[in-house]
Amino acid sequence: MASNLAYALVFLAVIAVLWVVWTMADEAGVAEGEKLDFENNVRADGRQKTPLERFVSPGRLFRLRLGAAVFPAFLVPVCFLAGGITQPALLLSFGAVCAFVGWKLPGLYFARLVKRRQADFESSILDLTAGVANALKAGMAFPQALERISARMTGAMKEELAIVLREYRLGLEMPESLERLAERMPCEDIRLLTASVRLTTKTGGSLADVLAEMTEMIRGRREFAEKVKTLTAQGRFEGYVLGCMPVVAFAIFYCIQPELMGVLFKTTVGWVAIGASVALEAIGFVVISKIVTIEV
């Protein structure tokens, strides 16, 4: 019975591997374009794409998730059968867990790319507000100042400002174009900039003075965030240490008494204990991360 199950899983695993490889090869040609074409920020229905959709289309993300879930769901039980573990409950449990983790991984990967791009964008806001304020004091109009500063920017800020200026040249009002920027790159400072431009456009106030004050506020907030990050560094380090300690302790005990620790891999109760330990460690790590993460 176990041998038939092993052959069936091996056959399904081979099919899953071939399907995943074919899917990756089929999507390789469009992956680079989807990842870098940030100017194409509008859907077919006219609405703006979400930050995640600018990196990967929903259809491609679904295929990647499906492939990442199917492959380990069959591969892990095959490895267990090769190691002599034949309990159906364990095979199904670990196959389901691996499928769930595989399903989540592509989304987490692209979410990390979105977060990295957002951080790159926010790191340039101080230079943007300071540069525009100085250009306005020199006598430039706001669109001209924005274009001059855009030529000196790099990374995400340069790409987003290029979209703002292109929309302005196509007839969109500057405050509205900045609001669309705030939708694409959610950030409190960009919302303040948008509100300042809209208010000064209606009331005729000095936008240069407003941006100068905003620059000082952003600079102070950034300094405070750096202080908070320094003060919470010990808590983050403790979270990493507590997360690694059980693995290190298990490795040490296994080297000392392999027969005693090997029982964990040979009995159902042992596997349940391993699963409970991993779950508790994950919960503890998440709780510590939430405690030491302070939004500024």
Q: What is the pLDDT along the chain (296 residues), one digit of tens a residue?
A: 555 555 565 566 666 666 665 555 555 444 443 444 455 666 656 677 777 777 887 878 888 888 788 777 777 777 767 666 666 766 777 778 888 888 888 888 988 988 899 888 988 888 888 888 888 888 888 888 888 888 888 888 888 898 889 888 888 888 888 888 888 888 888 888 888 888 887 777 788 888 888 888 888 888 888 888 888 787 778 778 877 888 888 888 888 888 877 777 777 777 788 878 888 888 887 887 777 777 66
At 31 the pLDDT is 43
Examine residue 191 and state whether it is found in any structural domain, yes or no: yes
Q: Is residue 76 part of a domain?
A: yes
40 within domain boundaries: yes
Same domain, residue pair 90 and 160: no
Q: What integer pLDDT is reported at residue 296 of this predicted model?
A: 60
Q: What are 42's strand-pairing partners? A: 48
Cα R_g (the chain), whole angstroms:
26
Residue after which a domain boundary falls, among 77, 92, 115: 115
Clarify whether residues 32 and 136 are in a common domain: no
Residue 64 domain-assigned (yes or no): yes
Residues 34 and 101 in one domain: yes
- Give domain status of residue 224, yes or no: no
pLDDT computed for residue 193 by the predictor:
86
Cα-flanking dihedrals φ and ψ of residue 33, to 5°?
Answer: -65, -40
Q: Which range of residues forms the domain containing residue 181?
A: 125-216
Which residues partner with 48 through β-bridges?
42
Query: According to the model, what pLDDT value does residue 36 have?
Result: 41
Asked whether residue 227 is domain-assigned, the answer is: no
Which of 216, 248, 272 corresponds to the end of one domain? 216
pLDDT for the residue 15: 64
Residues 110 and 6 in one domain: yes
Task: Report pLDDT for 13.
Answer: 60
Q: Are 194 and 127 in contact (CB under 8 A)?
A: no
Question: Domain ends where: 73, 90, 115?
Answer: 115
Q: Do 6 and 34 sit in the same domain of this protein?
A: yes
Task: Confirm if 125 and 189 have CB atoms less than 8 A apart.
Answer: yes
Same domain? For 167 and 204 the reply is yes
What pLDDT, on the 0 to 100 scale, is given for residue 46? 61
Helix axes 142-152, 125-137, angle to 10 degrees: 130
How far apart CA 194 and CA 190 sit, in angstroms, is 6
Q: How many domains does the chain have?
A: 3
pTM over 0.75: no
Please tell me the predicted confidence (pLDDT) of residue 173. 86
What is the DSSP track for the chain?
Answer: -HHHHHHHHHHHHHHHHHHHHHHHHHHHHHHHHHHH-TT--B-TTSSBPPTTTTTS-HHHHHHHHHHHHHHHHHHHHHHHHHTT---HHHHHHHHHHHHHHHHHHHHHHHHHHHHHHHHHHHTTHHHHHHHHHHHHHTT--HHHHHHHHHHH--HHHHHHHHHHHHHHHTT--HHHHHHHHHHHS--HHHHHHHHHHHHHHHH---HHHHHHHHHHHHHHHHHHHHHHHHHTHHHHHHHHHHHHHHHHHHHHHHHH-HHHHGGGGTSHHHHHHHHHHHHHHHHHHHHHHHHH----
Q: Are residues 131 and 187 in the same domain?
A: yes
